[in-house]
Amino acid sequence: MPRENTRHRVAIVGASSLRGKELKQVIEDRNFPAAEIVLLDTTVPVGTLAEAAGEPTFIKPMDRESFDGARFVFFAGSADEARDNWKLAREAGATIIDLTGALDHAAHAAAWIPELDTLLAPPEHKARKTEGSGIFSSPAPAIIVACMLSAALKKFSPARLVILFFPPVSERGQLGIEELEKQTADLLLFRPITQVIFDAQVAFNLLAGYGEGARPSLAEMRSGIAKGIAAYSGGRIAVPAVQLVQAPIFYGYAFAAYAEFAATIEPADLGGALGAAGIHLVAEDESKPSNVSVAGEARIHLAHVERDENVRGGVWLWGATDHLQLAAANAVRIAEELLAPKV
């Protein structure tokens, strides 16, 4: 947390989105030094009643004046909102933190996972946060999970690391949630199902791909995650293989990971390295983490490391995280690190 007493004007673009709402709550819960939280959105009418820091407020218009005096502008809504408005925020002198991924290319945003600074901190990465453009990217939850696992296991030099993610429908925003809700009700009532977002049946199903009309496709999402992991690793850690299977769940990102080492390594040693990287390990006598059990938690939760029965040196990891909390907490951590006194 920053140790300075100055309070700052903060703007959230996409405040009515799932990410925007979670971000606002995290800013308040972490006692971030915000003198004012300005809520901006293009998907709801200007003047819509909202709340920030326990006080009633309104959704404000998206224009140049909205960013005046803002120390930080978080883009938490759609990629289009970020691409269309980041220059206005930059012209106002704000530091930008993007959660949409749209500014990685549009504005050459510097991706940052502060939790990994003690494990992956070559000089060039440190320079990016002190001498960069003032435009930062908080990576997608799956990228954070993959990079944290890879960094934690780095000292054991895994021969391979494979991660299978089960993304929730809330990765597609409120519309994804509403479609799963309606599909579930339609199927139970033997009615034709709605397939606008996924162009496929998600309810009571597991999908390795969406219908042809869905964009982005599951393959495009996988490609974006894989490229994001490779870009962030920058050769500093082994890049895992990744795959996605769409699960019929509303919230929470579950994943299974397989790691293989040249020699047998004690699960306790692996657990110690994972815990040191900021990952929460559930005790052996406790239930394994699930998308339900991690709700409201900003950390990645892992079950006890299990050996593979047939492959010497192979281990399995099962984990889950509240993807909205993880993404919001990482974005706020970026702002906190930027405010922290330089040592």
| Structural domain spans, the chain | 8-139+327-339, 143-325
Is pLDDT at 50 greater than 70 in this prediction?
Answer: no
- Rounded CA-CA distance 66/14 in Å is 13
CA dihedral angle for residue 95, residue 146, residue 276, residue 253, rounded to 10 degrees: 90
Which residues on adjacent β-strands are paired with residue 317? 257
Fold of the CATH domain 143-325: Dihydrodipicolinate Reductase; domain 2 (3.30.360)
pLDDT tens by residue, 66-124: 899 999 999 999 999 999 999 999 999 999 999 999 999 889 999 999 999 888 864 45
Give the pLDDT confidence score for residue 1 in this predicted structure: 47
pLDDT tens by residue, 125-167: 444 554 445 999 999 999 999 999 999 999 999 999 999 999 9
Amino acid at 222: R
Q: Tell me the pTM.
A: 0.92
pLDDT band at 49 (very low <50, low <70, confident <90, very high): low
Fold of the CATH domain 8-139+327-339: Rossmann fold (3.40.50)
Closest listed residue to residue 171, CA positions, set 210, 137, 114: 210
- Rounded CA-CA distance 299/320 in Å is 9
Place of tokens 């004690």: 266
pLDDT tens by residue, 195-235: 999 999 999 999 999 999 999 999 999 999 999 999 999 88
- Rounded CA-CA distance 267/316 in Å is 10
Who contacts 266 (Cβ-Cβ below 8 Å, separation ≥6)? none
122 CB neighbour count, 10 Å cutoff: 10
Stretch (H or E) spanning 34:
strand 34-40
Give the pLDDT confidence score for residue 43 in this predicted structure: 77
To the nearest whole number, what is the mean pLDDT of the chain? 90
Is pLDDT at 306 greater than 50 in this prediction?
Answer: yes
Give the pLDDT confidence score for residue 118 in this predicted structure: 86
CA dihedral angle for residue 214, residue 219, residue 223, residue 224, rounded to 10 degrees: 20
For the packed helices 218-233 and 141-153, what is the interaxial angle rounded to 10 degrees? 40
Tell me the mean pLDDT in the region 9-35. 93
Tell me the mean pLDDT in the region 61-68. 84
> With pLDDT > 70 as the criterion, what percentage of the chain qualifies?
90
Give the pLDDT confidence score for residue 63 in this predicted structure: 81
Closest listed residue to residue 82, CA positions, set 175, 17, 7, 177: 17
Give the pLDDT confidence score for residue 25 in this predicted structure: 94
